[in-house]
Structure 1
Amino acid sequence: MEINLRRHVAVGDATIGTMTIGDFTCYTLEDVIRDKKVWGKTAIPAGIYPVLMCESPRFTERYEKKGLGRIVPLLDGVPEFTGVRIHVGNVAEHSHGCILVGVNWDQKSARITGSETAFKGMMKVLNAVAGNHRITIVNDIAEAKVKLSHPPAPLFNMMYRGSCFPA
């Protein structure tokens, strides 16, 4: 299954984007994009990476208790990074170089919400398809100024439809 992540806005210490997998769409939050890696504070390089579905030593027990399952998507072959996963979280400090997913984005801050709901929706789509998954990450960044008067067009169009999830 093809996963597409388009990074749209840099806000404070985070990068906000949208992820699409078939008909499923959600917001993403990652660390800042940097030319030189700073451990736990840098988004992975744009590119195409295989995605493996596996248990995480960090998340498995906690996720299972929350009804999120035991499996977390892991990006393979990311240069200078290991253990990059797609998981639940709300702010950049939850990311540590990984990709967070959420249903909503607070356009005045670097925060996403509805992360567990988005994670469950994402996993439902990924688990429905047997075989290999891969993610394509594209930087399409607009630096957010002091105040955002209007979100970027792709995010505005998604919000105008009223939901991050297909009907």
Structure 2
Amino acid sequence: MNRYIVFHERMAVDLGHARLLVGQTLRALMHDQYYFNGEPNSQDVGSLLWQFGEDQTLAMYLLSDGESVGADQAELQLPASFRIEEDGECSWRRENLLAELSSLAVAGKLITQVQGVIDKWPDQHSRLVAFKITFETGDYLIYLNRGDDAVVLINEMPPEVVGVDTRLEVIV
């Protein structure tokens, strides 16, 4: 099965995978940075690769519906580079996200809570749109699907959307 496809029962599975972070010490947090013609795209942080424990990893990534996020322990492959016409090259590099987020000193810190951010639009299924990861310092990071762009928010909740019921799902 394709790991990026959305199906109804998937939310519980992804929340269960993300729960593996609770009680773990973060060793590193890598992300797949998108580049166009050698310049990074700051609008999209790409997929995340959480490294913890002895040699454990957890991948977080966007799903194909443009709204949801997923998580699992399968290896996270960098997307293949490609060209757009003659003068456009799209590529990705795996980089240390914590080095770029100097305001968040959580390497070596304990992850104390993981929550799912669930959006429910009227007359639609609920969607897992983000993960909220809290550290022993009280700082938190939100990995959010913002319409085909992956965004990381530091100590900041996603903006409210009128008409959408948003709730945090505690993962115990």
* TM-score, L = length of structure 1: 0.30
* Structure with greater proportional strand content: 2
* TM-score, L = length of structure 2: 0.29
Higher RCO structure (Cα 8 Å, ≥6 apart): 1
